[in-house]
């Protein structure tokens, strides 16, 4: 009697099937599939990072819209869940590293994919800088030093160095660090929230419906839209699960699930932390008036004291490092995907792969050096850094929605998702709803809110978006990199000839 196949046999069968599927899509990968479902989810969770998102914008949103700003987390969470469902269908059929760029390439074509990836890559690099820079005040509080510009820059550079070292050490260590970051952040968030609700609760649930006159005479809608940035900023990161598709076993099934888990768990944690902080703010009026400009530190110090608060701040810093690490992983895989298809200047270097560590080292260095340059640029002008970072959220949403629009266009032309995860007859309405939400969110981000400031400051978000798009279009016209390489494009639509496919079709693409 022969022995039944064990776990190792199942693992080998899954690996062979994943390799064959990738070859069918025209690629042979050097990545090692060391990332489990939980590691993939942890990568998305640490990128989404409820602690980083909430702590970074809590004071601003509470001052702008009062406690009801918490409902923007619910609205944005539902909207981004629709986007995650669309992405789940796409990555299940096209489990290729790089996320937004290869998805847009298969759904629409080379030019659309190139511009989508360009916008998203710039947004990712800027977001890495903003997350690293945002850790400065917490590091200063932990060390008991004045949060000066020099200290903030130094902290940001240290965080970038640590995140880069983890990423360069390989997928397995990245997966382990992501799980550690997830556990530390979730336990820390729950522990802090429970303690605040138990010992520092100054408001009940009724406060969540009290705007504290933040709307003024013009009604509350404008105040809520301004405060809703906390929700809009919170819910991205789930796409990072798909950026590392070639490093996950059974990606067509596991990645869509990890994306949804990121929204569910990350969103639930963000809501809980926000509610606990709102309940613990003793004087909401002081936050709205500006007398308390940093309510998070005020609340934590009052609740935990100067000694215990340092433990909390240490967990917060772990969250910032984990978030920067996950962002770097996403950005490097996108840059590598570009280079592998010969779509960007420096492709030969960016497509290089470390055989020992199974990571693209030069793409990772790009995801470290560009954010470091942005951080150092703040030394010349902190306001300039603010202007650059203003594009980050808009750029990520725009990159998302270019894929959502490409998916809708492909559906209307006959594409039917054929991966292990599909929405069936719900695919079209979910796709339309995801696009409508994304457009509304981008309008909300771009809407001018400071009529007393110079017009270019008031319109800084759409202006920065226009500059990045304009530079991308100029790059496309000048270099025509989008036309290089022979990887398939636009082949999701039935009957469409894959752009770039030769006769016979190209074999698996690989780089050394």
Q: Which band of pLDDT confidence, cut at 50, 70 and 90, is reported for residue 252?
A: very high
**Maximum Cα–Cα distance across the chain:** 83
Q: Name the percent of the chain lying above pLDDT 70.
A: 90
The least confident of 250-254, 318-322, 365-369, 448-452 is 448-452
Is 428 a residue whose pLDDT tops 80? yes
Q: What angle do CA 468, 371, 442 make, to 5 degrees?
A: 40
Output the pLDDT for position 3.
Answer: 44
Output the pLDDT for position 510.
Answer: 45
Cβ-contact 236, 442 below 8 angstroms: no
Residue 496's CB is within 10 A of a number of other CB atoms, namely 15
Output the pLDDT for position 506.
Answer: 39
Residue 486's CB is within 10 A of a number of other CB atoms, namely 17
Measuring CA to CA, how many Å separate 67 from each of 48, 204, 212, 440?
22, 11, 8, 22
Cβ-contact 53, 234 below 8 angstroms: yes
The least confident of 21-25, 195-199, 351-355, 499-503 is 499-503
Q: How far is residue 353's CA from residue 362's CA, in Å, rounded to a whole number?
A: 8
CATH code, residues 38-483: 1.20.1740.10
Mean pLDDT of the chain: 87
Q: How far is residue 179's CA from residue 163's CA, in Å, rounded to a whole number?
A: 14
Calculate mean pLDDT across residues 491-512.
Answer: 55
Is 501 a residue whose pLDDT tops 80? no
Q: How far is residue 279's CA from residue 76's CA, in Å, rounded to a whole number?
A: 21
Helix 100-107 / helix 295-340 crossing angle, nearest 10 deg: 50
For residue 213, report the phi and psi dihedrals to the nearest 5 degrees.
60, 25
SS3 at position 49: coil
Is 10 a residue whose pLDDT tops 70? no
Helix 171-199 / helix 50-65 crossing angle, nearest 10 deg: 40
Q: How far is residue 492's CA from residue 477's CA, in Å, rounded to a whole number?
A: 26
| Core vs surface per residue 400-433: b (16+ CB within 10 A) or e | bbbbbbbbbbbbeeebebebbbbeeeebeebbeb
Residue 174's CB is within 10 A of a number of other CB atoms, namely 26
Q: In the structure encoding, which two tokens stand for residue 270, read together?
A: 């963000």
Cβ-contact 170, 360 below 8 angstroms: no
Calculate mean pLDDT across residues 289-308.
Answer: 86
Q: How far is residue 95's CA from residue 512's CA, in Å, rounded to a whole number?
A: 21
Cβ-contact 62, 281 below 8 angstroms: yes
Cβ-contact 167, 174 below 8 angstroms: yes
Q: Which band of pLDDT confidence, cut at 50, 70 and 90, is reported for residue 508?
A: very low
280 closest CA partner among 322, 309, 316: 309
Q: In the structure encoding, which two tokens stand for residue 101, read together?
A: 């760029």
Top pLDDT among 427 and 7 is at 427
Cβ-contact 270, 54 below 8 angstroms: yes
Q: How far is residue 105's CA from residue 26's CA, in Å, rounded to a whole number?
A: 13
Residues 6+ apart with CB under 8 A from 252: 21, 91, 92, 93, 95, 419, 420, 421
Output the pLDDT for position 2.
Answer: 40
Please classify residue 105 by burial: count the beta carbons closer than 10 Å to its beta carbon, then call 0-12 exposed, 13-18 middle and 19+ buried: buried
Per DSSP, the residues of 394-425 read HHHHHHHHHHHHHHHHHHHTT----SS---GG
Please classify residue 300 by burial: count the beta carbons closer than 10 Å to its beta carbon, then call 0-12 exposed, 13-18 middle and 19+ buried: buried
Q: Which band of pLDDT confidence, cut at 50, 70 and 90, is reported for residue 331?
A: very high
Is 429 a residue whose pLDDT tops 90? yes
Calculate mean pLDDT across residues 305-315.
Answer: 82
Element (H, E) at 443: helix 427-446
Residues 6+ apart with CB under 8 A from 338: 98, 101, 117, 121, 344, 347, 350
Output the pLDDT for position 385.
Answer: 60
């Amino acid at each position: 009697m022969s022995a039944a196949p064990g776990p190792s046999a199942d693992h080998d069968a899954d690996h062979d099937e994943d390799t064959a599927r990738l070859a069918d899509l025209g690629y042979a990968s050097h990545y090692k599939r060391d990332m489990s479902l939980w590691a993939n989810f942890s990568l998305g969770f640490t990128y989404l990072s409820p602690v980083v998102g909430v702590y970074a914008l809590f004071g601003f949103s509470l001052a702008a819209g009062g406690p009801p700003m918490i409902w923007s987390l619910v609205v944005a969470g539902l909207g981004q869940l629709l986007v995650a469902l669309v992405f789940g269908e796409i990555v299940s059929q096209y489990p290729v590293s790089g996320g937004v760029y290869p998805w847009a390439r298969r759904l629409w074509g080379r030019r659309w994919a190139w511009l989508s990836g360009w916008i998203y890559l710039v947004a990712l690099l800027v977001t890495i800088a903003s997350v690293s820079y945002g850790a400065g005040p917490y590091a200063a509080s932990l060390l008991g030093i004045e949060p000066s510009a020099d200290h903030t820059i130094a902290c940001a550079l240290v965080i970038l160095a640590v995140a880069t070292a983890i990423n360069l050490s390989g997928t397995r260590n990245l997966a382990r660090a992501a799980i550690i970051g997830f556990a530390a952040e979730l336990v820390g968030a729950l522990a802090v929230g429970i303690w605040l609700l138990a010992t520092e609760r100054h408001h009940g649930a009724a406060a969540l419906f009290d705007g504290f006159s933040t709307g003024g005479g013009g009604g509350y809608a404008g105040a809520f839209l301004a405060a809703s940035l906390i929700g809009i900023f919170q819910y991205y990161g789930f796409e990072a699960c798909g950026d590392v598709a070639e490093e996950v076993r059974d990606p067509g099934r596991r990645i869509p699930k990890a994306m949804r888990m990121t929204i569910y768990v990350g969103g639930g944690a963000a809501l809980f932390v926000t509610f606990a902080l709102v309940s613990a703010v003793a004087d909401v009026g002081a936050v709205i008036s500006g007398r308390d400009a940093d309510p998070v530190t005020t609340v934590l110090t009052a609740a935990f004291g100067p000694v215990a608060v340092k433990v909390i701040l240490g967990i917060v810093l772990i969250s910032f490092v984990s978030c920067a690490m996950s962002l770097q992983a996403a950005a490097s895989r996108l840059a590598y995907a570009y280079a592998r298809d010969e779509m960007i200047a420096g492709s030969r270097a960016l497509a290089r792969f470390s055989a020992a560590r199974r990571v693209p080292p030069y793409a990772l260095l790009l995801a470290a050096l560009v954010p470091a340059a942005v951080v150092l640029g703040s030394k010349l002008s902190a306001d300039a850094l603010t202007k650059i970072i203003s594009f980050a959220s808009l750029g990520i949403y725009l990159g998302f929605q270019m894929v959502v629009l490409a998916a809708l266009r492909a559906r209307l032309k006959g594409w039917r998702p054929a991966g292990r995860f599909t929405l069936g007859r719900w695919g079209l309405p979910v796709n339309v709803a995801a696009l409508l939400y994304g457009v509304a969110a981008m309008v909300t981000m771009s809407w001018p809110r400071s009529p007393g400031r110079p017009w270019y400051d008031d319109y800084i978000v759409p202006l920065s978006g226009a500059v990045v798009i304009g530079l991308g279009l100029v790059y496309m016209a000048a270099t025509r990199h989008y036309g290089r390489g022979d990887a398939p494009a636009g082949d999701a639509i039935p009957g469409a000839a894959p752009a770039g496919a030769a006769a016979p079709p190209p074999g698996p693409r690989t780089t050394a």
